């Protein structure tokens, strides 16, 4: 069946199309020079219009495209439109049955996905949306028409909801599932630790994302969550004990975690390891080697002797090297360097030894050749950095030779070897779940080991527990952005926050939280206290008031209440500590550096040394070009890491904090604390 424009209509309309023919499942619109085939599966609407003289047919296509036929006799146009409309509607109804079947199948798969008794991951949502799009592409009707068919409408709306609101839908579904789990396993969460887990802790435990960052503020119970997480994985049969890897940064922390697991979960195959112990295990299992750890890692005297002897030999044998070292020490470090054979000066050598250890350690951690180290640093420091690296090269060579003669490896070498074995596929990771404590302390090298493990077993989930507010180990290679930009490095997932601290009162918490968040690079999060504190729970006090303060504390602090003195450096241990044991025999008084106090707590904390100068706090920047080139780049915010260090000091205290400052040269932090409303006391 076809419809043609009249001769007059064809001449006057001056339109490219003047003929339309009904096909089996479409229409063909044509003219003298043009023809256009419109299958029904591309047709959105047909309109029949009457002009002043002739009729007009209008075909609407996707992308707002319209094809028109003009100049047809009106009655003929009406008759053709009637048959065309009937054929199109009949075809559409038949195709709607096909669409209904396809969409019902899609909805069934969505419902099956939703109804699983487990956490649904974001990566799975992506697979669902891709499946919906693929099924849409296979539908015989244009997508714009689907909702107009009663038999398709409900299924279509369900699919559209998951496409448009998928993230929200997934969150809501996981929230309902979490509520159910917390009710169903109420006894588990009440008894897995010595005190019942709170809501935020429990939610973190059941969260099943592939990459989960748990921000755990000071005193918020992160260890309880790690233990409960391990217990949950076994209870729900998400992983067997031997498929759970728990990582800590130090041997003592790993041992404490193992004790806690045995106490709370009983004897099981879960074993907390350090990164170095993990690397050692991978090397032993993935090769025929039985690597030994070099004695140089544990013998500081032997380590320093090797480096100083090599340095002295280098300076004595090569004048250019000696001149380079003199310039480095004098101009960059601003040390006083003796004339002549300065390398023989014992005091200078002892002072330099710790610097050489540190620089060599950073070079070993980088792991690359000299050219790679030089290529990685910013352009503006590359020339000077390359000169320093060349001066360090003989020490690096001597270190490698010493390891070779000993038949041993150092800690950095362990990690690099383990990564190499994983990348070559010589060790197959058995771990489905990796739990990492103190994640804010992770270095790029350790992060590379985690990524190699997950690359080896792509089903491995990462549960990272840390607090960027307490990231205080950049000097040893830790990179805070591995936490603050966690999902950039470790893939899509989720972030949870432990929002309640059980350690310090709300006054200490208020000041500490506002102080740390003055740095915009820190992640924003709530941290609420369960106890109240007075305005004087944190106070500024002149440093000469230390002894009167201790006298006062000795009068009301109970024997079981700890008093902790904290300072930036070991050598700032106050002389008053020498007589403390006899003067205040019942006062439980300890001194520590702030770094060493991480993980500690006390009833009362006295922070020493809020003053300007070389021994002050915040400490002056003392990085050489080597540190600038090999350490992670710091944030563009004044005293960023020193501010985190002060936060760590404040949050060791349960009841009260005194900030001791120098009246003559007060630290920059004194004004910050005063602006936050910390009272300034004249005497203890």
Mean pLDDT computed over every residue of the chain? 94
Residue 71 has pLDDT above 90, yes or no: no
* Alpha-carbon gap, residue 213 to 357, rounded angstroms: 33
d(CA 683, CA 527): 31
Question: What distance in Å separates the CA atoms of residue 662 and residue 532, rounded to the nearest whole number?
Answer: 29
Q: C-alpha dihedral over 478, 484, 490, 491, to 10 degrees? A: -170
Residue holding tokens 């755990």? 216
Distances (CA, A) of 226 to 214, 257, 354: 10, 9, 36
Over residues 480-502, the mean pLDDT reads: 97
Q: What is the pLDDT of residues 533-565, one digit of tens each?
A: 999 999 999 999 999 999 999 999 999 999 999
- Name which of 6-20, 29-43, 583-597, 601-615 the model is least confident about: 6-20
Cα gap 231→246, rounded to integer Å? 12
pLDDT of residue 600: 95
Q: Which CATH superfamily is domain 191-294+425-501 in?
A: P-loop containing nucleotide triphosphate hydrolases (3.40.50.300)
Looking only at Cα atoms, what is the longest distance across the chain? 121
Q: What is the pLDDT of residue 290?
A: 83
Query: What is the model's pLDDT at position 151?
Result: 97
Question: What is the C-alpha to C-alpha distance for residues 535 and 224, in angstroms, rounded to an integer?
Answer: 31
- Tabulate helix, strand, coil % of the chain (nearest 5): 55, 15, 30
Predicted TM-score of the model (pTM): 0.90
Please determine, looking at this structure, whether the domain spanning 506-675 carries the CATH number 3.40.50.300: yes
- Residues 565-576 have a mean pLDDT of 96
Residue 207's Cβ-side half-sphere holds a number of Cα atoms within 13 Å equal to 26
Question: pLDDT tens digits for 428-446?
Answer: 999 999 999 999 999 999 9
The CA distances from residue 391 to 101, 169, 356, 357, 380, in Å, are 74, 59, 11, 14, 19
Residue 13 pLDDT: 62
- Alpha carbon distances (Å) from 497 to 204, 465, 490: 8, 10, 18
| pLDDT > 70? residue 53 | yes
Q: Which residues, at least 6 apart from 310, have a Cβ–Cβ distance to it below 8 Å?
A: 394, 395, 398
CATH number of 1-184: 2.30.29.30
How confident is the model over 485-509, as a mean pLDDT? 97
Other Cβ atoms less than 10 A from the Cβ of 596: the count is 11
Give one word for 117, left, alpha or beta, with left for phi > 0 and alpha for psi -120 to 50. Answer: beta
Cβ(522)–Cβ(662) under 8 Å? no
């Amino acid at each position: 069946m076809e419809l043609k424009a009249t001769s007059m209509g064809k001449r006057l309309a001056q339109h490219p199309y003047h003929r339309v023919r009904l096909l089996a499942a479409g229409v063909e619109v044509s003219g003298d020079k043009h023809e256009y085939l419109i299958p029904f599966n591309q047709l959105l609407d047909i309109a029949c219009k009457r002009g002043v003289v002739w009729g007009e047919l209008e075909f609407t296509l996707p992308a707002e495209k319209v094809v028109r036929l003009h100049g047809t006799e009106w009655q003929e146009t009406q008759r053709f439109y009637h048959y065309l409309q009937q054929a199109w509607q009949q075809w559409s109804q038949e195709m709607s049955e096909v669409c209904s079947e396809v969409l019902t199948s899609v909805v069934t798969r969505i419902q099956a996905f939703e109804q699983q008794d487990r956490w649904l991951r974001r990566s799975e949502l992506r697979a669902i949306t891709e499946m919906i799009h693929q099924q849409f592409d296979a539908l015989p009707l244009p997508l714009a028409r689907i909702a107009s068919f009663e038999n398709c409408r409900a299924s279509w709306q369900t699919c559209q909801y998951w496409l448009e609101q998928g993230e929200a839908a997934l969150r809501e579904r996981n929230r309902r599932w979490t509520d159910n789990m917390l009710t169903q396993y109420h006894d588990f969460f009440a008894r897995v630790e010595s005190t019942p887990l709170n809501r935020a802790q429990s939610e973190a435990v059941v969260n099943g994302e592939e990459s989960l960052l748990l921000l755990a503020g000071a005193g918020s119970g992160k260890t309880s969550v790690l233990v409960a997480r391990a217990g949950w994985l076994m209870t729900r049969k998400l992983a067997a004990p031997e498929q759970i890897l728990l990582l800590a940064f130090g041997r003592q922390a790993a041992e404490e975690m193992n004790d806690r697991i045995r106490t709370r979960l009983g004897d099981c195959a879960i074993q907390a390891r350090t990164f170095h112990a993990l690397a050692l295990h991978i090397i032993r299992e993935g090769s025929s080697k039985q690597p030994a750890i070099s004695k140089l890692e544990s013998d500081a005297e032997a380590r320093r002797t090797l480096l100083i002897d090599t340095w002295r030999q280098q300076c004595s044998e090569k004048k250019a090297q000696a001149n380079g070292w003199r310039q480095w020490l004098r101009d960059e470090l601003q040390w006083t360097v003796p004339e002549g054979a300065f390398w023989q000066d014992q005091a200078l050598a002892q002072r330099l030894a710790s610097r050489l250890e540190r620089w060599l350690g950073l070079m070993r951690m980088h792991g690359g050749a000299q050219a790679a180290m030089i290529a990685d640093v910013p352009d503006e420091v590359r020339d000077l950095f390359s000169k320093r690296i060349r001066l360090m090269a003989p020490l690096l060579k001597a270190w490698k030779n010493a390891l070779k003669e000993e038949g041993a490896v150092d800690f950095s070498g362990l990690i690099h070897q383990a990564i190499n074995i994983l990348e070559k596929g010589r060790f197959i990771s058995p771990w489905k779940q990796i739990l990492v404590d103190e994640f804010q302390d992770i270095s790029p090298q350790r992060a590379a080991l985690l990524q190699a493990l997950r690359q080896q077993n792509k089903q491995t989930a990462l549960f990272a527990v840390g607090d960027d507010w307490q990231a205080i180990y950049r000097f040893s290679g830790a990179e805070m952005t591995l936490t603050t930009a966690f999902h950039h490095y470790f893939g899509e997932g989720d972030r949870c926050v432990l929002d309640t601290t059980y350690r310090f009162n709300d006054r200490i918490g208020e000041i500490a939280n506002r102080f740390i968040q003055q740095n915009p690079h820190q992640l924003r999060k709530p941290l609420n206290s369960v106890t109240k504190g007075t305005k004087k729970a944190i106070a500024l006090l002149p440093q000469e008031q230390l002894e009167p303060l201790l006298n006062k504390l000795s009068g009301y602090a109970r024997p079981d209440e700890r008093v902790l003195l904290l300072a930036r450096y070991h050598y700032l241990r106050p002389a008053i500590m020498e007589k403390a044991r006899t003067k205040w025999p019942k006062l439980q008084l300890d001194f520590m550096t702030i770094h060493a106090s991480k993980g500690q707590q006390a009833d009362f904390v006295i922070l020493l040394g809020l003053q300007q100068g070389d021994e002050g706090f915040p400490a002056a920047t003392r990085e050489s070009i080597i540190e600038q080139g090999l350490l992670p780049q710091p944030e563009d915010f004044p005293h960023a890491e020193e501010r985190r260090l002060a936060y760590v000091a404040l949050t060791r205290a349960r009841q009260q904090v005194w900030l001791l400052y120098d009246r003559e040269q007060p630290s920059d932090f004194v004004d910050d604390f005063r602006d936050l409303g910390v009272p300034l006391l004249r005497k203890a």
